[in-house]
Amino acid sequence: MKTLKIAIQKSGRLNEKSVELLKNCGLNFENYKSSLISPVSNFPLEILFLRDDDIPEYVQDGIADLGIVGENVIEETEVDVAYLQRLGFGKCSLKIAVPNNNSIATLEDLNGKAIATTYPVILKKFLEEKGINSEIRTISGSVEISPGLGLSDAICDLVSTGGTLKSNGLKPFADVMSSEAILISNKGNENDDLIQELIQRIQSVLRAKETKYVVLNVLKENLAAVTALLPGVKSPSVVPLAEPEWVAVHTVIPERDFWDRISQLKQAGAQGIVVMPIEKIIL
Ligand code: ATP
Ligand code: ZN
């Protein structure tokens, strides 16, 4: 029987979430930091642990069937792969940042200026699109210290909270791209049965993550008002309680809707509200 290979980051910002996602899909494997390959015991799959920069090419060339990697790395390596699923973690943006006290006010002010980055391909495309002519200085790391050292006038780097920029006296100036972790496959293989099964499992885990199981108690006379606020997967279950005039309502709702509605639910008479995580939602 055929065995698929999926490449994930060996260590770094995407490693833990990638491993967690695969484990939540019910895949059983050892996560030894020292090994390059880990077989999955209950699915025909092997996990390859690689540097993130190598993942897009491994997938493009078919050495791995699938990969989990940041969109920024895919764009920078200019590979031709199929995007299967956005994964909702590793969110960040690639931004141009400038020193706090400088005269760069518009994109045009970047003409003739030096920008340090580890993303020369993406930055070049961005500047070309905007018609800006800057000098791109490709460096391999610690981009944020380069203006302070007089090596560049600006930087183009990944930002999530902005804390690193701030502590280096820089401020975000222009958004180049936003990124998150993506499941990719080599082109033409998207419809393979095993790949489809894995996508289904991943989607059921992602759906569950965004959704909560909510149980609450309400007086029967307030039931209609409360259920009107709760659009469930289908409709909420209503369960009798020992106190005859009370019922319990069980439902599944998107977490973002829940926080918006919690005060309305209380006002409508909901009590003893319990919110629980869901492991998987299979449609
Ligand atoms: P490797 O050793 O695998 O080459 P790396 O040092 O290149 O790792 P990490 O810093 O671990 O990479 O980042 C991996 C990915 O995490 C990035 O390519 C990006 O998609 C995502 N990411 C999310 N937030 C951030 C952030 N604040 N800074 C950098 N990357 C981030
Ligand atoms: Zn890397």
The ligand minimizing its distance to the Cα of 15 is: 1
Q: What is the C-alpha to C-alpha distance for residues 88 and 78, in angstroms, rounded to an integer?
A: 22
Of 63-72, 128-137, 187-196, minimum mean pLDDT range: 187-196
Domains and their CATH numbers in the chain: 4-90+180-208 (3.40.190.10), 92-179 (3.40.190.10), 211-277 (3.30.70.120)
Q: What is the pLDDT, as a whole number, of residue 230?
A: 86
pLDDT at 232 over 70: no
- Cα of 163 from ligand 1 centre, angstroms: 15
How many Å lie between the centroid of ligand 1 and the Cα of residue 135?
24
Of the candidate ranges 29-38, 95-104, 136-145, 154-163, the one whose mean pLDDT is the lowest: 29-38
How many angstroms is it from 270 CA to the middle of ligand 2? 49
Return the beta strands (E) in 75-153 as ranges.
81-86, 92-99, 114-117, 135-138
Is the C-beta atom of 178 inside 6 A of ligand 1?
Answer: no
Residue 34 in this model has a pLDDT that exceeds 90: no
For the ranges 44-58, 163-177, 228-242, which has the lowest average pLDDT?
Answer: 228-242
Query: Tens digits of per-residue pLDDT, 234-252?
Result: 788 999 999 999 999 999 9
Helix (H) / strand (E) element for 203: namely helix 193-209
Which residue has 């931004």 as its token pair? Answer: 95
pLDDT at residue number 240: 96
The answer to whether the CB of 118 is under 6 A from ligand 1 is no
What confidence category does residue 202 fall into, taking pLDDT thresholds of 50, 70 and 90?
Answer: very high
Mean pLDDT of 14-39: 93
Per-residue pLDDT at 206 exceeds 90: yes
Which segments of 112-268 are extended strands (E)? 114-117, 135-138, 154-159, 170-179, 181-186, 211-219, 237-240, 246-254
Which helix (H) or strand (E) covers residue 48, if one does? Answer: strand 45-50
- The whole-angstrom separation of Cα 164 and Cα 176 is 18
Using most ligand atoms within 8 A of CB, pick from 8, 9, 13, 156 the residue to mutate for ligand 1. 13
* Lowest mean per-residue pLDDT among 79-83, 229-233, 264-268: 229-233
Mutate to test the pocket of ligand 1, among 10, 11, 14 (most ligand atoms within 8 A of CB): 14
Q: pTM for the whole thing? A: 0.90
Please give the distance, rounded to the nearest whole angstrom, from the Cα atom of residue 251 to the centre of ligand 1: 38
Task: Tell me the pLDDT of the chain averaged across its residues.
Answer: 94
Phi and psi at residue 107, to the nearest 5° = -55, -40
Averaging pLDDT over each range in 24-38, 132-146, 255-269, which range is the top one? 132-146
pLDDT at 33: 72
Count of helices and strands (H, E) across the chain = 8, 15
pLDDT value of residue 53: 96
Q: Return d(Cα 220, Cα 224) in angstroms, integer.
A: 8
The answer to whether the CB of 92 is under 6 A from ligand 1 is yes
Q: What are phi and psi of 106, to 5 degrees?
A: -130, 165
Which residue lies with its CA nearest to atom 22 of ligand 1?
A: 90
Question: Which residue's CA lies nearest to atom 24 of ligand 1?
Answer: 92
> Among candidates 133, 153, 135, which has minimal Cα distance to 143?
153
| pLDDT given at position 233 | 60
Q: What is the pLDDT of residue 106?
A: 94
129 Cα–ligand 2 center, Å: 26
Q: Residue 257 has what pLDDT?
A: 82
Q: Would you give the end-to-end CA distance of the chain in angstroms? A: 28
pLDDT digits over 79-118, tens only? 999 999 999 999 999 999 999 988 899 999 999 999 999 9
Residue whose CA is closest, atom 30 of ligand 1? 158
| Backbone φ, ψ for residue 62 (5° rounding) | 80, 10
What percentage of the chain exceeds 90 in pLDDT?
Answer: 87
Average the pLDDT over 168-177 and give the result: 96
Q: CA-to-CA distance for 158 and 13, rounded, in angstroms?
A: 12
Give the pLDDT of residue 261.
Answer: 87
CB 184 within 8 A of CB 82: yes
